[in-house]
Amino acid sequence: MDNRHDAVKLALYERFLKDPGALPPMPETSRHLRRLLATDEPSQKNISALLDSSPALAERLMRFAALPLLGHIKSGSRLLDVVQQLDGRRLANLVLAFELRQLFDGSEPSLQKVFNKRWSLSLQRAAFSAGLAQHLPHLKEEDALLAGLLQDVGSLPLLKELHQWPQVSRLEVDLQRLCEQLSAELGVLLLSAWKLPVALQDCARLRRDWCRQHKGPVDLADVVQVAGQLLEEPRNDERLARLPAYQRMELPAPQVLRAELAEVVALWLKLLGGRPLEAD
């Protein structure tokens, strides 16, 4: 896709910008959960009942509670116990992370192939983000997990929308480039429509701002950038070491860091249903 296709890119962006209905709604359980949590005194029993109404989601939450190394939840917990031991924000972010896969559906092979590749990379980025957050006491693993998934969330509605645009090239290189060009803008539109915090919107907006500098502590956008660079192929650890976000986090050398994170990243990937990373 070259400059001759800029009109297509602009038309797609305007489609989402001008028609709010083109953006997918937040997944149903996440939407209902956040409404419950927004009430004055949300009932933990009602929250547990809502989550229990989705067996696959409830199973994911129980697997999360049982994760070794993380030490979040006491062993032998019921779903209600999990709800009681997680604060509302962390629970809502965890549930949304488990539901995001629903944003894409479609059977066109060329679009499905690109989605599968980008989703697999998002799962890996989320797992690394959650692992990195364990080095940062002021950030929560569930928030970092969701942030890693949301960095490229704009690609999901874009690829779904392209089922209605047969005139757009189906070459994988063109589809991947289109996703790279529009993911940040569409991600911000989507996360803003969902009324998610600016800190999460920034993870999409800043996904390629490698030179970003800011004051204050390390934030989720920093974590997600480092996670993404840890996954870059071909590997370039010198570039990673120069990344401002990496330098702010005062981490060990990239090769040492990957080794330190390997076990916990594998656990998060298993929870998310992602494929294990290949050993070096």
What single letter denotes the amino acid at residue 47?
Answer: I
Q: Mean pLDDT for each consecutive 10-residue tract of the chain (280 residues)?
A: 68 90 93 93 91 92 77 70 86 93 88 95 96 92 94 94 93 95 95 96 95 94 96 90 93 92 91 71
Q: What DSSP string runs through 88-104?
A: HHHHHHHHHHHHGGGG-
Mean pLDDT rounded to a whole number for the chain: 90
What letter would DSSP give residue 219?
Answer: -
Rounded to an integer, what distance in angstroms lies between the CA atom of residue 143 and that of residue 223?
11
Structure tokens at 176: 């991947």
Rounded to an integer, what distance in angstroms lies between the CA atom of residue 222 and that of residue 240?
12
Contact 93, 60 (CB under 8 A): no
Looking at residue 104, its pLDDT comes to: 86
Q: What residues does each domain of the chain span?
A: 3-272
Rounded to an integer, what distance in angstroms lies between the CA atom of residue 267 and that of residue 9?
38
- Collect all residues with Cβ–Cβ distance below 8 Å to 188 and sequence separation of at least 6: 154, 201, 204, 205
- Collect all residues with Cβ–Cβ distance below 8 Å to 89 and sequence separation of at least 6: 37, 143
Looking at residue 20, its pLDDT comes to: 81
59-to-79, 114, 146, 215 alpha-carbon distances in Å: 9, 28, 18, 40
pLDDT tens-digit readout, 125-171: 999 999 999 889 999 998 999 999 999 999 999 999 999 999 999 99
Name which of 278, 280, 277, 268 is nearest 67 in CA terms.
268
Strand, coil or helix: 197: coil
Looking at residue 240, its pLDDT comes to: 93
Exposure of 142 in the CB half-sphere (CA atoms within 13 A): 18
Looking at residue 135, its pLDDT comes to: 87
Looking at residue 103, its pLDDT comes to: 87
| Cβ atoms within 10 Å of 275's Cβ, excluding its own | 10
**Fold classification of 3-272 (topology level):** Hypothetical protein af1432 (1.10.3210)
Contact 111, 159 (CB under 8 A): yes
